[in-house]
Amino acid sequence: MATVQLNQLPVPTFSWLGVNGTERELYNGPADEIAVSGAEKPVTRIHIAKSANISVSGSKKPQLIVMNADAEQAVIRTDVHAESSEQIRLVQIIRGGKNVLELHAELAENASLELIQIYLNPADCVSGAEIHMNGRKSAFTSNIGYALADGNALDLNLNIVQRGKKTVSDTTVRGVLRGQAKKIFRGSIDFQNGAAGASGTEQENVLLLDETVINKTVPVILCAEEDVVGSHGATIGKIDPAHIFYMQSRGIPEAQIYEILAQSQLGSIVRQIGDAETEQAVSRLLGRESADE
């Protein structure tokens, strides 16, 4: 195994915070080569149990790719090329395991990529995504959800490079941390010179359920263009006591309230999947894992 630097921030900050990147020994076992094209069928489901190199290309019709990864240890690389006006929805469900995910996407004019990532109790997952919005009016939407229990670790890095004019990006991240879970989310919107008329938003909402969790949030905006609108926000904390009070007044026991609110935290992400079979499966998993806690 080789040690590599992963998830580097596009612009480093104070070294003592330990957020500039991470280091992992990269598993170098055999990898499957998988090519997915929207020309073949509108919905593609892939089960990933070991390392894989996946290339995704679009077609004239919108397409949905659902990746369900439950490998114990794997490196999963995904390359997405959306040509002019192509629409791709990529769903990645990552369950357990010590995995490294790398996503690289290139979007041409009017192309759109919708990314949905759901991380369910990853033992140690490092996931990096680099989205290059090169084409005019290309669009990128991401909905990322995570549920981490005691001993889980998740290191996320999303770098959105908006190069084309009038590009639009919108990122929503919602998660729940319990026990001694550790999570870092780096989300960067990089408005490059020439991206006139571009806009980008990013919002993370983190629910902390135990005093032993570690949460790091790094929302970055880089801007070299005057005519853009960018914003990011983050809210991190416990459940609002008003919500607990309201639900208690309706006769729901306190322990159950936490589970309901934790599931609802990711529920809005799950509903974005757009594939009933997958949505039901993920909802079942969420409920089971909450019940196991």
Calpha distance 9→14 (Å, rounded): 11
Taking CB under 8 A as the binding criterion, the range among 34-42, 90-98, 135-143, 229-237 that sits at the site for another protein is: 229-237
Taking CB under 8 A as the binding criterion, the range among 69-77, 105-113, 155-163, 233-241 that sits at the site for another protein is: 233-241
Binding-site string for another protein from residue 53 to residue 92, where x marks contact by CB under 8 A and - marks none = ----------------------------------------
Give the 3-state secondary structure of residue 26: strand
Question: Does 98 sit near another protein (CB under 8 A)?
Answer: no
Question: Does 162 sit near another protein (CB under 8 A)?
Answer: no
Q: Which is nearer to another protein, 115 or 209 (CB)?
A: 209
Calpha distance 224→238 (Å, rounded): 36
Q: Which is nearer to another protein, 220 or 260 (CB)?
A: 220
| Near another protein by CB under 8 A: residue from 169, 215, 265, 290 | 215
Taking CB under 8 A as the binding criterion, the range among 51-59, 74-82, 86-94, 205-213 that sits at the site for another protein is: 205-213
Read out DSSP for 54-104? Answer: EEEE--SS-EEEEEEE--SEEEEEEEEEE-TT-EEEEEEEEESSEEEEEEE
Residues that bind another protein (CB under 8 A): 9, 11-15, 17, 19-20, 177, 191, 193, 196, 206, 208-238
